[in-house]
Chain A
Amino acid sequence: MEATVANVLLTFLAVTAVGIIMLRDLLAAVILLGAYSLIAAGAFVVMDAVDVAFTEAAVGSGISTILFLGALSFTRHDQKPRPNHSWMALFLAVAAGGLLIYGTLDMPYYGSATSAAQTNPGLAVRFLEESGSEVGPPNIVTSVLASYRGYDTLGETMVVFAAGIAVLSILGLKRRRPGENAPLDAPGDKTTTLVVNSSADDGSIASPNEMKRYPRQRHRVLQVVTKLVIPFVLMFGLYVQFHGDYGPGGGFQAGVIFASGFILYGLIFGLQKTRAIMPPSALRILMCLGLLLYCGTGLLTMVLGGNLLDYNVLAHDALHGQHWGIFTVELGVGITVTGVMISLFYNFASKRSL
């Protein structure tokens, strides 16, 4: 039954991928990528990679679609039709694809008994049998991710951080930012200007409260539901962050879910109000703070006489040290990912609204 479900899901995945390639309309492709991500998460669940599925679920359900849409709003909605087909390009694509497929022939089949993981089970057995007494958390994935290969995860966090910096440097800093306390008539600060104009038209002076209210209340249902849902999203983000030792989850997923709460607010109430709640300067601090927390833990363990990210030295008891180390490191990951994701949303969504 499980194999059948996996096969059906993988078939869906292939069909969707082909469909996305065939579509000329990029907006439809973005919508279909949402379905692709959903199927991928389902397939990961069926293949027992629950933590991976969790990440795919957190990223694919909202953030990736939103980033694609943000990119689309900078460009055209249709793929540019090519007048003449380049046979050279076709040949190169087919050759490269063929080589890749040829390469996969060497890989073991799914669940194969002769794969390297089965014939040399030393590492897997070590993780499964000893991680409880060496590292502690019942979720072995967390042990491996945050402790055994904490250095690797440090690199991944840096990649996320670097992506945030790159997007900031390309999209965020190019236009001159009005700043958090910009003058009312700052160019580009359309909302404020419009509110001031409308209040001048009817001759009355708008009080600060009235300026914050929106004159035309549309999508009332969405606004109310959003306000109801956001606390639960943030709460669930915290749960995923701190429950990652025991169940699927951890810093990456928690950061994305936490950021999703803010992004939801931004979609419904506009970038202006979201930036008032979570100013970009705070995001830049968060991005750095998380990574510094991670690196700082590594440095601390070195100062205390261990190797980089060897948490055993953090406390009198090795398991306690591991617990503290994993807690701090995951917190660092969560903070950085939250900062980067919200910052990405700000930069991609701010085509006109700044």
Chain B
Amino acid sequence: MNTFLSDPNAQAVVAGVMLLGASAGLTGTFTLVRKRALLGDAIAHAMLPGVCLAFLLTGQKNPAWLLLGALVSGWLSLLSMDFIARHSKLKPDTAIAIVLSTFFGLGIVLLTYIQHSGYGDQAGLDKFLFGKAASLTIQDVLVFGWVAAFIVGVVLVFFRAFRMLAFDFDFAAAAGMPVRLLEFVLATITVLVVATGIQAVGVVLMAALLITPAAAARFWTDRLWSMAGLSALLGSTAGLFGVGISALAPAMPTGPWVVVWLSVAAAVSALAAPRRGILARSALRRRNARKMERENVLKAFYQLQEANPLQLTAFSKEDIQERGYFRYSILRKTLARLRRLGLVEVVSQLRWQLTDKGLGESRRVVRLHRLWELYLSHKLGMADDHIHDSAEAIEHLLTPDMEKRLLEELCYPARDPHQSEIPYDDPLRSQNTAL
């Protein structure tokens, strides 16, 4: 690895791919939040005819001409997609697919035409299909560096405007911002980064450099600034890893490995990111489900106590299950959890009862349920037989603050619409008003 890094060509490759990854990650952030993620894919494919035409017209593989050709046809593809989406009933994604396949088909026609007509200097044009990251030169890296600097500059200058464009398009337009010009600027840096990028990773994988780092970054943050920074960082890190793999195993292609690393980063982010990741979401869902199960079992205890004439306070699992229609396995686990929390206790072998703490908690749940029923019935005028289901759901969600407001709004009522008593911790509370 040391010998590898002391080789100037290898340094060029590392620097080039990292610069490219960073600028694509940065640009991709904005195309992603504008919901134009697949645009990069179409633009990349659409550059092939431009490259071939530039070669046909000039007869040489001068990188500047080829780049110009790529830029022009990338731009034309963008205009075509815009035109289709504007002037037909087709959706933008269909417009993208149409432009992509037509332009790419044209590119393939031109490429094969060039190959079959025996142009002397044509070998290597097809490098645009799959890229040639491993053979980047110092000149290429200089170009990548300029492009990256230009893109960073544009993003810094237009950051607020781009954000507005992405999240408040209508407002920006109404406020008199030059939205068409801003879209043009954003499109230009996209075309620019794609045109430089396809030389390294090829047309098919260029889309990944734009989409994947931004998509991965999206999981970690809600702020556009940090998303853009993280996306650029991920892009360049994946670039480094990709080049590293090719250095260790020379048969391995760089571009695809960059994309694989990016995909791994995206997969890890989708799974493990705090709050937005799949694991965090399902943990939250599980916590909420457990809370509902706990509260429903407590409520069943309260209702059993309330209903039996003998003032019993200890009940068997079967009683509880019958009262609350619980699945037996869930009831068993929930009771064990409630016991650990000190809310219920086992009095004899098969009987369970609420502790004082548990009684208070069960009163709270029942109180919220009945308060909400009363609110729906009296304040919103809903029929008494329509309010139970809503209360079943909302009793788990009402905060202490909302409870207090409900109590004030309803003047500490004594009974709910079904004439059941509303339980208070302090029995005197409800005495002052009788509804």
A binds B: no
**Measuring CB to CB, which residues of chain B are less than 8 angstroms from any residue of chain A?**
none
**Measuring CB to CB, which residues of chain A are less than 8 angstroms from any residue of chain B?**
none
